[in-house]
Every structure is written in C-alpha cells, then in structure tokens.
Amino acid sequence: MPLRMAMHTSPSGPLWPADQRINAAALESFVKLIRKLWRTGMALALTTACSLALAQTSFTMTYKGGSTSACSSTYNISGKEPSGSGKYPVYIHVGGTWETYNGAWASAAVDAAVARGFIAATIQYDNGSFGTCSTIGQRAQCIFNGGNVNSAIAKLCSRAKADCSKGVVTGGLSQGSIISVLSRNYDSRIRASMGQGTGTYYSGYNLAACMNNGGHTQPGSRLRIINGERDMFVGGTQTTAANSAAAVTGISCGIGAQSCFQSNGSGWYIVKDVQTVDLYADHCFMGLGTYGAQCTGVAAVDPYYQSGTGAWALPATMDWLKTFVTP
C-alpha cells in the first residue's frame, strides 16, 4: 500500500506519539523519493527484459480510413514484429480520442504484444472527435474490414510474417476501446478484444445500441474490460465503472464486485486508486497523471500497469489475448 495511504488517526488523535509524528511535507518528499527509486529500478528491469526478449523489427505502413464509407483518408500504422523467421498472429491497438497513436500508452501495448509473439501495431485514425454508434462504427469498419484491401487489418495481414488465420486480437482505450469491441463486426478472424475505459454512455453520447452485450458481434466470453474506479466518463465510481463493464460484456458478479472473470479470463476488472502509482485510477489509469484530473499523464506509463502482476496490468491482459490465437 502506498505510504501516503498508510497514515490513519484514532478518535483520540494520531496513532503515533507526538515525538514520532511524521511531518506531512517530509512524508510527501519521502514518498516521491521512493517512487523515483522504484521507477529507476523498473526502468533497469525493463531494459534487461527487452535485451532478453526475442529480437524485434519496427515497421510503418499506411491504410485508408476515415469517418465515412469512402474510407479515403490516409492514416499511419506503427508496429513491431519478431525478427526471427516464422508466421505470427496479429494484435491491433486503437488509442483514444486525441491520443497520439504512437504515444507512450499505445506503444506499451505494442511492446507487450510483440514480446508474446504477435505482429503488433497501433493505428492512427480520425480521433479528433467522439461520435455516435454510426460514426465510431464507420471508423471501426475502415480499420477492420478485411474485405477492403486498403483497411488497416488487410494491410497488416498482408505482411510477409503475418498469418491472420492464426488469429487477430484487438485492444484500445476509450473511443479506441469501442472500436476494439466493435472490430469483430467487420472481420470474423478477430478472436478476442480488450477495452480500457469502456462503457455504453459517454458525456452525452448514448452507445447502448452498439455497445450493450448483444449489440456487437464479439461475445462476452471473448471480451476483457478494464475500467478505473475514478473514470468520470463511465460514471466516476467503482459501481458505475462495474455496471458499464457488465453492460458491455453481459457478465455480472453483483453489487460491490471489483473483478468479474469467467474461467477463461474474460469479463472485467475495476482498478482502485491504491493500485496505481499516481493514486488516481481515472479514465486513463495507465498513465502517470495529476490526482483529480482525467487523462493527464500522457507522457509516461504507470509501471504497475506496464509490468505488474495485477489482473488489470498489461502482462495479464496480453497473456489472456494470447490464449485465443495459434502460436
């Protein structure tokens, strides 16, 4: 438990005797020092892990996308693939509204996927605005319509090392999570999808028609939703975050549940404040942001999320996605 959460008071006063009380400013400085040391250690660990991982090759591509059926605008694809010979399944990541498609959060997902034997890529798209089921669905179709040779999925599946018959899996944040959930509507090769910050109602946009369980082709048994308890876009409480995830997956575990997984790992999980480094499990819980503000930590990735052992962390999610593809 983070140190700042460990200070409690009794009805008669602080638990520590007067001569042992810790100055609040000093405690805050100590917490920051511990975090800095922890992150330094984590960075070294990640460097070592990367050096031991399979060799990887970066690549870039383009595809035709947009918000209309014409899918006529050119967008970028940034990815990585194992350098060794062989054929690999594909992971496709879609970022949130206004998120840089190859920023820190999306890149962390790509790195986690390629380390598990995927050809992994993050997709640029028309994310300068949100939209209705129709608008976001059209963006999803431009990305995932396998019958369109200019779509992102077609471009990735055409890579020499890609074998999409082994399976395609998807992931995304916010608007990208909606696109991830809708992806199988347009290509049956997509075997499982994960979403972060995923719900059916966003700031005036009612997406129940396409996002409620049964409104999308991907069954709840192949969905994994991770929401933060402070996610203001899906209600701002653990209960509303859970209700949103349950609506999308059709999987419910009752009032007060933090996690609700089926035997194959599908279902949902609600991230608590105390599980994150910045102590604020917001819409963008994977970032290192400012307490009380949504999605401010765009330049960095929470190390607990990136390399931790929690059910909400990237390793667990990517390991789950891998169970649906053929190695």
pLDDT in tens, 94-115: 999 999 999 999 999 999 999 9
Q: What is the pLDDT of residue 1?
A: 33
Extents of the domains making up the chain: 55-225+301-322
| Res 48: pLDDT | 40
pLDDT tens profile 121-133: 999 999 999 999 9
Q: Is the pLDDT of residue 119 over 80?
A: yes
Rounded to an integer, what distance in angstroms lies between the CA atom of residue 29 and that of residue 38? 14
User: Which pLDDT value is given to residue 53?
Assistant: 53
Give this prediction's pTM.
0.85
Classify domain 55-225+301-322 at the CATH superfamily level. Alpha/Beta hydrolase fold, catalytic domain (3.40.50.1820)
Q: How confident is the prediction for the chain on average, in pLDDT?
A: 88
pLDDT tens digits for range 249-286: 999 999 999 999 999 999 999 999 999 999 999 999 99
203 pLDDT band, cuts 50/70/90, is confident
Side-chain-side CA neighbours of 198 within 13 Å: the count stands at: 33
Q: pLDDT digit string (tens) for 185-199?
A: 999 999 999 999 999
Q: Residue 49 pLDDT more than 60?
A: no
pLDDT value at residue 204: 87
pLDDT higher than threshold 80 for residue 8: no
Q: Is the pLDDT reported for residue 77 higher than 70?
A: yes
